[in-house]
Structure 1
Amino acid sequence: MIKKLAGVMLYVDSQEESVKFWKETLGFTVVSEEELPEGYKAVEVAPDSRSETTVTIFDKAFIKKYSPELHIGTPSLMFETDDAGALYEEMKARGVTVGEMTEMDGSKVFNFKDAEDNYFAVSEADRT
């Protein structure tokens, strides 16, 4: 039986730039780095070391070569925060392109763009 989503794989054109964005711009932690064939690597990042779900960043060139059957499109990810307003302002101050803050089912929601023009969403946690 499946118990939870442990991680997401993100395939990017520039792994170095992507890791830099998640780590330096968003403040994520590098959980692990795994050496792969031909000098490629897999870099696992997460909001912090206690996160249940991680994002592992792979170079698209590696995936195309070693797993050509995989779909390399960007997944639609929804992150959660306790204070969407504060995170929204913090991201804007760090130069992150953010979409308009909206409400969905009573929660504040916005999207943001990474270094490769992929969009991801953030929703405020239900405080009830």
Structure 2
Amino acid sequence: MFNNRLKIILYAQDVKKANEFWQSLGFFQISFDEIDGSFVAELAVSETSETHLVIYDRQFVETNSSETVEPSPALIFSSDDVLKLYKKLKGENVQVGEIAQIGEEYVFNFVDLDGNYFVVSGQ
């Protein structure tokens, strides 16, 4: 049976830099390991979050298991204060899209160091 834990794989050109990027956005580092000369980082929005991002080295995976490297997943993060988060990301020099209001929610996207787009929505 499935449970509430969910891990989402992201592939990065530089796992260390990707790890630092997500931490600069407020994510908590769960683990950072070296496996066969490659790094793997696991992060979450908090220590108790049951959803984790697991970042693998794209080149390592392409070399050792090319069939598993897929395009980036489409992720929508939720925020209780979208405008504050938007300002924080801009302050961190993260590439962000324009904020749009859809009904009562605000939505914007941002880009990580590998050019992957993510969406944030909420109040």
Report the TM-score when normalising by structure 2.
0.89
C-alpha contact (below 8 Å) 1:111/1:122 kept by paired residues = yes
Secondary structure of the residue aligned to 2:96 is coil
TM-superposition CA deviations, 1:35-80 (whole Å, max 9, x none) = 312x112110111111110101000112112221113321111111
Secondary structure at the aligned position of 2:113 is classed as coil
Letter matched to residue 98 of structure 1? V
- Report how far residue 9 of structure 1 moved: 0.4
SS of 2:70's equivalent in the other structure is coil
CA distance in 2, matches of 1:5, 1:31: 14
CA RMSD of aligned residues (A): 1.6
Cα distance in 2 between the residues matched to 1:97 and 1:60: 21
In the other structure, the counterpart of 1:109 is 107
How far 1:33 moved relative to its partner? Answer: 2.2
Corresponding position: 1:51 with 2:49 = yes
Quote the offset at 1:3 in angstroms: 3.6
Correspondence 1:25-104 to 2 at 5 A: 25-37=24-36, 39-104=37-102
Q: Distance in 1 between matches of 2:20 and 2:44?
A: 13
Code of the residue aligned with 2:9 in structure 1: it is M
Q: Please state whether the residue corresponding to 2:93 is helix, strand or coil.
A: coil
Is contact 1:33–1:43 with CA below 8 Å preserved after alignment? yes
Does the CA-based 8 Å contact 1:30-1:43 persist in structure 2?
yes
* TM-fit CA distance, 1:105: 4.7
Q: Tell me by how many angstroms 1:104 deviates.
A: 3.0
Task: Count residues with an aligned counterpart.
Answer: 123
Between the aligned partners of 2:46 and 2:3, the Cα distance in structure 1 is 21
Cα shift at 1:5: 5.5
One-letter amino acid matched to 1:49: E
Structure 2 unmatched ranges of 5 or more: none
- The residue that corresponds to 1:18 in the other structure is 18
> In 1, distance between residues paired with 2:29 and 2:3?
24
Are the counterparts in 1 of residues 61 and 69 from structure 2 also a CA contact under 8 Å?
Answer: no
